[in-house]
Amino acid sequence: MRQNKIIIITAPSGAGKTTIVQYLLQQYPEQLAFSVSATTRQPRANETEGKDYYFLTKEIFQQKIQDDAFVEWEMVYEGKYYGTLQSELERIWKTGKTPVLDIDVKGALHIQRRFPESSFSLFIQPPSVKELQKRLESRGTETRESLEARVNKAAYELSFKDQFNYTIVNNHLEEACRDAERIITAIIA
């Protein structure tokens, strides 16, 4: 029997993960679909319910944990839950497509352990922690404390890179997109 596949894209914050995910979805609209996660964080101005996330209250999220509705969930940031619903994977598989998960490193490790045969993971690596710090600084969205926290978290997350199926070093975003595309082409062939 053909097993339903799962593609996981993971990376430390600021490594260019979301851009690469969007690029892959554009290249393969018939084969891939974005796995919409559930979260308890507030929607941002440009985000749509059911497209970017399923925005849930903490109570409903916790109920779903009790009901075993998640294939993985994490408190990615202090007090904010994020998780992949089994029903979301089923929804995508039913359309004949492969779900693409944009999730943090811990969540990615969980999915890998749970679906060792059918999951394929790509780790997007920033060129160096120093470069990542520079990128986050130039983005200008961080306070000194939050920048330090993100850089420390990234260094920690980088230590897991060997546990993923593929690693892409993101020196140049366009090249990294094409590298990812080559890997995905082989996976979905």
Q: Which residues bind ligand 5GP (CB under 6 A)?
A: 13, 37, 41, 72, 74, 76, 82-84, 102-104, 107
**Strand partners for 54:** 38
Phi and psi, residue 9, nearest 5°: -115, 120
Contact 38, 82 (CB under 8 A): yes
Closest contact distance (angstroms) between CB of 121 and ligand 5GP is 13
Closest contact distance (angstroms) between CB of 169 and ligand 5GP is 18
Nearer of residues 23 and 82 to ligand 5GP, judged by Cβ:
82
Nearer of residues 89 and 177 to ligand 5GP, judged by Cβ:
89
Closest contact distance (angstroms) between CB of 76 and ligand 5GP is 4
Nearer of residues 152 and 186 to ligand 5GP, judged by Cβ:
152
Closest contact distance (angstroms) between CB of 111 and ligand 5GP is 8
Closest contact distance (angstroms) between CB of 78 and ligand 5GP is 12
Nearer of residues 42 and 189 to ligand 5GP, judged by Cβ:
42
* One-letter amino acid of 95: T
Nearer of residues 2 and 44 to ligand 5GP, judged by Cβ:
44
